Amino acid sequence: MSESSNPSPPAAFSYQGHGPNAGIGVAICHGFTGSPLSVLPWAEHLASQGYAVTVPLLPGHGTDWRQLARTRWSDWYRSFEAAYLELEARTETCFVAGLSMGGAIALLAASRHDVAGVSVVNPGLTFYDRRVRVVGVLKYFQRTTLPIQEEQPTAAVTYDGDYSRTPLAAVHELRKLFAAAARALPGITAPVQVFKSRTDAVVPPTSLALLRKGLGAHLTEVVDLHSSGHVATLDVDAPEIFAKSSAFFHPLARQKTALETR
């Protein structure tokens, strides 16, 4: 989704944690055609506060669009799930978080595991482009399309690999992932925090409407981001995301620990 003169390939991020927050884990998932770089400042902020943090590099990402076309949504999900389970095994309390498609993956994980809470930024569950309804057929006639571009983006630029084209086979997998995550929403019992940019050319407002309907009272906080585009974790409102997600995690972790020690 971004370009840079920096040729260094993106890599997974992992931090063991330190101090009184070392027992609190946060597994963060990046978005479609993105990489851990898109959420790295978020991960580093939580790590600086002592949290144990992991951000896996999903299959087909951090390389190029040709590799992405060979992967399935279940590959992306299982990669994140494995990272979450590894972190959950070595922490007392574990959360999931994500950006864009990573938000859908985090929500799906929360429906299948006993997470302490969920924090997602511009989570994707629906599309603007109605042609996605027939992408399962369209992919056989058109291999790729141009990536979505935001007008006058203000987010920092990262090099996530060569995604100058978007394979329609991968968009079809993305659609299947969104459908699976949407169906799973009623199964989430953990508190959910959502950050939503008012200006987002990638994820439509219908995604938030679907979250409100599917989560009900478990959607405990919706934070409007007034000054950022889609990749808000690298944009103007990033400090607000960092501070409010940490403020969301910490009391829930203490509450969960208190309940388990009774």
Indicate whether 29 pLDDT > 60: yes
CATH number of the domain within which 129 lies: 3.40.50.1820
* Average pLDDT of span 171-188: 98
**Is residue 149 one of the residues assigned to a domain?**
yes
**Residues 107, 192 contacting (CB under 8 angstroms):** yes
Q: Give the C-alpha separation, 130 to 126, whole Å.
A: 10
In a domain, 135, yes or no: yes
CA–CA separation, 82 and 102 (whole Å)? 14
**Is 8 contained in some domain?**
no
Cα–Cα distance between 190 and 227 in angstroms, integer? 28
Instruction: Please check the confidence at residue 262 and state whether its pLDDT lies above 70.
Output: no
Query: What is the pLDDT, as a whole number, of residue 9?
Result: 65
Q: How many folded domains does the chain comprise?
A: 1
Confidence check: pLDDT of 119 > 50: yes
pTM (2 d.p.) = 0.94
**Residue 249, token pair as written in the block:** 């995690």
Mean pLDDT of the chain: 93
Q: For residue 221, what are the β-bridge partners?
A: 193
Strands 144-145, 166-167: pairing kind: antiparallel
Tokens of 216: 């009900």
Using pLDDT thresholds of 50, 70 and 90, give the confidence band for residue 160: very high
Query: Would you say residue 200 lies in a domain?
Result: yes
Give mean pLDDT, residues 169-198. 98
Residue 126 backbone phi and psi in degrees, to 5: -135, 170
Q: 5 lies in a domain?
A: no
pLDDT (0 to 100) of residue 3: 38
CB atoms within 10 A of CB 55: 30
Q: Which domain holds residue 44?
A: 13-260
* pLDDT for 229: 96
What are the backbone angles phi and psi of residue 45, rounded to the nearest 5°? -65, -45
pLDDT score of 1: 37
| pLDDT tens per residue across span 137-151 | 889 899 999 898 887
